[in-house]
């Protein structure tokens, strides 16, 4: 028997085209996924979303969408109960459900959408909109190898994918890579503010902080070197970076402990969203 192929789904319904659903849709379209195979269900589409769907020929809020090969659920976890009845009607017996809801377990989803057998729980992140996302994913035992390959192709079309050995790891993934872009954006805010405090005009400091984090991220992306080696490459012995890092890497009181607390708090919140 031939092996199942890695391929994008032939039909997909995206439920919830807000910040993350919208980011994934942008990524899929930019990666050349055929728009005529995609339908979007979104009660409050932004102007940009309506324009994107109109321009690219993606069906926005079709009357009675046929059960798709893949249904991507991208509403808020708190909206699941209210949306569940309508959503279950969209699921066919062969539909693969891909949920990106923080906290909601495969069991939670099954309870609300009883028709869904095959479920992939995935945690993408916002850079998916430019094809540079990072996703952790776990599949229920009903997901066939062919379906897992379709989910993999779909998620991989917008960035890196890590298949997790156990669903139980996904709350930690959520806290690290799902929420992670926000930590990095906040780093830009902090660096810019620190630059202002050090005497730079606000707009100059903001431009420098943004370009620095973007450039450092791009270097990490392109380089084979570890983050630690790249850090050392910036740090001249007895120089300015070493003086700055002495504060940032202080033990106790440095960024390491703060980041550990940050990730622990985000993971705890993901756990609270279950049920
Ligand atoms: N924002 C992010 O960076 C990430 C978000 N997520 C997950 O993605 C999900 C969505 O988050 P965001 O996009 O940030 O929220 P959002 O609020 O921007 O988007 C949710 C969208 O769902 C729509 N919606 C509400 N009820 C609906 C229904 N019954 N049918 C269809 N659409 C409905 C809303 O109108 C809204 O546009 C959440 O579960 C979150 O945990 C996962 C990874 C990263
Ligand atoms: O903040 C949240 O709950 C979602 C999940 C990961 C990123 N945003």
Ligand 2 pocket by Cβ (under 6 Å): 102, 174, 178-179
Residue 2 has pLDDT above 80, yes or no: no
- Whether residue 76 is annotated as binding a ligand: the answer is yes
Q: Is the ipTM of this complex over 0.95?
A: yes
The pLDDT-based confidence of 5 (bands split at 50, 70, 90) is confident
Residue nearest to atom 25 of ligand 1 (CA): 75
Q: Rounded to the nearest whole angstrom, what is the distance from the C-alpha of residue 264 to the centroid of ligand 1?
A: 23
Specify the 3-state DSSP secondary structure of 122: strand
β-bridge mates for residue 123, sequence order:
136
Q: Is 19 annotated as a binding residue?
A: no
Before 252, cis peptide (omega within 30)?
Answer: yes
- Does 3 have pLDDT greater than 90? no
Ligand closest to Cα of 126 equals 1
Q: Which helix (H) or strand (E) holds 80?
A: helix 80-88
Domains of the chain: 12-169 (3.40.50.720), 180-272 (1.10.3730.10)
Residue nearest to atom 32 of ligand 1 (CA): 16
The DSSP result for 3-36, as a single string, is PPPP---SSEEEE--SHHHHHHHHHHHHTT--GG
Residue 65 marked as a ligand binder: no
pLDDT tens, 189-241?
A: 999 999 999 999 999 999 999 999 999 999 999 999 999 999 999 999 999 99
Output the CA–CA distances (angstroms, integers) from residue 14 to 17, 24, 201, 269, in the order listed.
7, 9, 44, 25
Residue 73: the pLDDT is 98
- Summarize pLDDT for 46-61 with one digit per residue, the tens: 999 999 999 999 999 9
Q: What pLDDT is stored for residue 72 in this prediction?
A: 98
What is the average pLDDT value for the chain, to the nearest integer? 97
**pLDDT per residue over 19-72, tens digit each?**
999 999 999 999 889 999 999 999 999 999 999 999 999 999 999 999 999 999
> For residue 1, is pLDDT > 80?
no
Does residue 91 register a pLDDT over 70?
yes
pLDDT at 149: 97
Provide the whole-model pTM. 0.97
Ligand nearest to the CA of 25: 1
């Amino acid at each position: 028997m031939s092996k199942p192929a890695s391929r994008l789904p032939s039909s997909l319904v995206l439920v919830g085209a807000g910040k993350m659903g919208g980011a994934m849709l942008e990524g899929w379209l930019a990666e050349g996924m055929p728009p005529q195979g995609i339908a979007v269900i979104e009660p409050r589409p932004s102007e940009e979303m309506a324009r994107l769907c109109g321009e690219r020929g993606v069906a926005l809020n079709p009357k009675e969408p046929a059960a798709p090969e893949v249904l991507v659920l991208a509403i808020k976890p708190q909206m699941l109960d209210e949306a569940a009845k309508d959503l279950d009607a969209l699921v066919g017996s062969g539909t693969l459900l891909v949920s990106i809801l923080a906290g909601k377990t495969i069991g939670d989803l099954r309870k609300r959408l009883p028709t869904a057998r095959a479920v992939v729980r995935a945690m993408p992140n916002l850079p998916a909109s430019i094809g540079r996302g990072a996703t952790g994913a776990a599949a229920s035992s009903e997901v066939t190898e062919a379906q897992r390959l379709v989910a993999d192709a779909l998620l991989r079309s917008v960035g890196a994918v890590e298949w997790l050995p156990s669903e139980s790891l996904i709350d930690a993934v959520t806290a690290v890579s799902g929420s992670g872009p926000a930590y990095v954006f906040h780093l830009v805010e902090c660096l810019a503010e620190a630059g202002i405090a050090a005497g730079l005009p606000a707009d100059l400091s903001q431009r420098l902080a943004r370009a620095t984090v973007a450039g450092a991220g791009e270097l990490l992306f392109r380089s084979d070197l570890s983050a630690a080696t790249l850090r050392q490459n910036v740090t001249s012995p007895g120089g300015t970076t070493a003086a700055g890092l002495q504060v940032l890497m202080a033990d106790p009181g440095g960024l390491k402990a703060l980041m550990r607390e940050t990730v622990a708090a985000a993971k705890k919140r993901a756990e609270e969203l279950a049920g």
